Chain A
């Protein structure tokens, strides 16, 4: 699902603040610093997220022409996660524990020993499977301060919030009835009245 093609499911955000002067190169440098780095089997990290080229999950070459489109800044937020088959993991873990018990001649393994075995089994499985990958596109209109994100998942919103904040030093406000009202140019006194309203009951006389 993305900015260039495919189904459109959007969450709208408003960017608090404006880019600084001469932002292009500064932003490119900071985007590249937070470009996605693939997970490795020998790492402990269970997941990782970072920027990629919008619409191209494998393209991590974040160049000017792939990021800036007129007044739009386009990026993909890529998230990789290890999703190991749990039945296989449990079976191989149980097998490895049994082998360790037989070798040691003891009746029980310590917690530390079990943790080491688990880590080894997980590492071996990671070498046999690929992490699950997903990517969500972001389109930021630098003139209007509106950003569209191609996902309604709260967990992806959290990742976006964190990554956007550290990349651009700006905060995002997710659209809600109040936020849209505040950003729509509604007169100040009308906006101030909104939190004082009570819900209308339409089914009573």
Chain B
């Protein structure tokens, strides 16, 4: 199978990543640990689109202050719909990003970059590109954490059941238990 075939076969991982991110944001109340002892604050923002994996036409788009916390979002999850596209906010220190993330294509749109300019750059284009790359890097780090969990036995054993309970309205995993999972599954990086 070539890359294209692998890509088509694994498209569902985008929606699972977004579901996991939503779960993690709620579990950690927005505090997202990253590599090299950095952390970001993240939250689901003002729009959320959920769709049925089996029927692309069956979708619901929610807009408002916090659509992810709405009864409609909870109901959609319980019906088997998964997040396909979501508005997100991520802040790294004083730098805050707002953007929309498409789970199927990993594309971002409507990106609002932090207003703060770095001192080391006197060319706005370099600063703009650096900020775009930083956002990309944060998303990649989060995705890597998800992937390490996804391929590990702990996914079926512990994390997926906890996420199912969350869909039903219960948080059954503690932050500490989650951190343990991440530690056990994060080894192994290609050189």
**What is the interface of chain A, defined by CB distance below 8 A to chain B?**
3-4, 7-12, 69-70, 72, 74, 139, 141, 146, 148, 152, 173-182, 184-191, 193-195, 197, 199-205
Contacts and interface: CB of A to CB of B under 8 A. Distances in A.
Given A184-B140, A205-B164, A178 B80 contact: no
Contact of B10 (A74, A173, A178, A190): A178
Given A11-B105, A190-B148, A148 B132 contact: yes
A28 B133 CA distance: 25
Given A175-B107, A193-B151, A197-B151, A70 B13 contact: no
B141 to A, nearest CB: 9
Interface string B110-129: 11110000000001111011
Interface of B (DSSP majority class):
helix
Nearest to B102: A152
B125 A202 contact: no
B9 interface: yes
B143 A70 contact: no
Chain B interface residue bracket vs A? 35 or more
Interface string B6-45: 1101111110110100000000000000000000000000
Interface of A (DSSP majority class):
mixed
B179 interface: no
Given A8-B132, A194-B6, A202-B19, 20 more contacts: A3-B128, A4-B124, A8-B108, A9-B107, A10-B107, A70-B126, A72-B129, A141-B133, A176-B105, A176-B106, A178-B13, A185-B144, A186-B148, A190-B147, A195-B9, A197-B13, A199-B16, A200-B163, A202-B80, A203-B167
A9 to B, nearest CB: 4
B190 A187 contact: yes
16 contacts: A4-B125, A10-B111, A69-B123, A69-B125, A152-B107, A174-B105, A178-B3, A180-B106, A181-B13, A186-B147, A189-B188, A200-B163, A202-B77, A202-B80, A203-B164, A204-B164
A96 B140 CA distance: 60
Contact of B110 (A7, A148, A194): A7
Nearest to A1: B109
